[in-house]
Amino acid sequence: MLNFDPQRYLRIQSGALALTSQLRDAIAASLTEGRRNIFFLGTGGAAILMMPAVQLLQRRSGFPTFLESSAELVLTGHQALGPQSIVIIPSLSGTTRESIAALEYCKGKGAKVFTLVGHAETPLGTAADQTFVNFAEDDTSCESFYLQSLAIALAIMDARQEIAGCAAIVDQLGRLPQLLLEAKRRFEPLAEQIAERWKDEAYHIIIGAGPTWPEAFYYGMCILEEMQWIRTRPVHASDFFHGTLELVDKTVSILLFKGEDETRPLAERVEAFVAGLTDKLQVLDTADVNLPGISPQVRALISPVILAALLERVSAHLEVKRNHPLVTRRYYRRVAY
């Protein structure tokens, strides 16, 4: 595989999953203390990667769950935030300015703050009530954060007896690093073909629904826009028919993500509509990915993890074909803003 270290990948994703028991114990202790709600307060891409776990809790659990912008929360406050709250703040660098401000604000409100970071000796690594560290880099952080936040959601639901067979789910998740590595290897030829088709495209509409929507949002904003300077329009499949459909013609590139949960029909509706209207439709369907031993229930939960693993391969080829390294920035962490 192009510019890829398999052992590094296995080490990082296994490291994320190794935190599962620690996260479970921390959540259980917090619930025992009487914490009655949870806030996920990331910034930028890290916040987006929390969204599937938030969706799961909001739709399947009775535990009050909030996803808020760190910067906005500090300015507006939130009536549900206080000593009864658990706060989750993810940041790969551990130095994100808006997240540091949110941590200080939440602790001032008496909330219990957990941080998910890639580096312990950082402001977010040292100031939290409890810190969970798993080193990762930009090309491996998606799966790592998706899996850590899923572990948190499962821990809450298991403690509240809202999900059956949680131990079996966790056991299956433990097989993912090797399975995802094999999926990347099988996807490599198609990843290069996609990158070849995209290398000169200036604009993409990226569509998802349910747990695949956060990955559509993330890949458009944090990879294609930030790391490749390509304009994108991430749009939820259910919103596509309320404006964005009018932009489609033969020349418009559309990337459609299909998962395996209840929201799949929303993506299928878009696919049926655009198939004859553009010559540039690319569908990524998690159902096409062979993951032996992973049940339909778990596959539905991990669709964004699967997509992130595959899209990393597209990005690796895209940076070479466009002669635009993924680490190149004009403004991000380069100038004051």
Mean pLDDT of 303-321: 98
Q: How confident is the model at residue 201, as a pLDDT?
A: 97
pLDDT tens per residue, range 129-149: 999 999 998 899 999 999 999
User: pLDDT category, 278, cuts 50, 70, 90?
Assistant: very high
Q: How confident is the model at residue 263, as a pLDDT?
A: 98
Q: How confident is the model at residue 271, as a pLDDT?
A: 98
User: CATH class for domain 175-321?
Assistant: alpha beta
User: pLDDT category, 294, cuts 50, 70, 90?
Assistant: very high
User: pLDDT category, 267, cuts 50, 70, 90?
Assistant: very high
Q: How confident is the model at residue 36, as a pLDDT?
A: 98
**Cβ proximity of 189 and 310 under 8 Å:** no
Q: How confident is the model at residue 282, as a pLDDT?
A: 98
pLDDT tens per residue, range 151-178: 999 999 999 999 999 999 999 999 999 9
Q: CATH 3.40.50.10490 residue ranges in the chain?
A: 6-172, 175-321
**What gap in Å lies between CA 263 and CA 208, rounded to an integer?**
9
User: pLDDT category, 329, cuts 50, 70, 90?
Assistant: very high
**What gap in Å lies between CA 267 and CA 283, rounded to an integer?**
10
Q: How confident is the model at residue 122, as a pLDDT?
A: 98
Q: How confident is the model at residue 43, as a pLDDT?
A: 97
For 6-172, CATH gives 3.40.50.10490
**What gap in Å lies between CA 25 and CA 93, rounded to an integer?**
25
- At 75, which amino acid appears? L
Q: How confident is the model at residue 22, as a pLDDT?
A: 98
Question: What's the mean per-residue pLDDT of the chain?
Answer: 97
Q: Helix, strand or coil for residue 95? A: coil
Enumerate the H helices of the chain as residue ranges: 6-18, 20-32, 45-48, 51-60, 70-76, 97-108, 123-127, 141-159, 166-173, 176-198, 212-218, 226-228, 264-274, 296-301, 303-321
Q: How confident is the model at residue 74, as a pLDDT?
A: 98
Cβ atoms within 10 Å, residue 250: 9
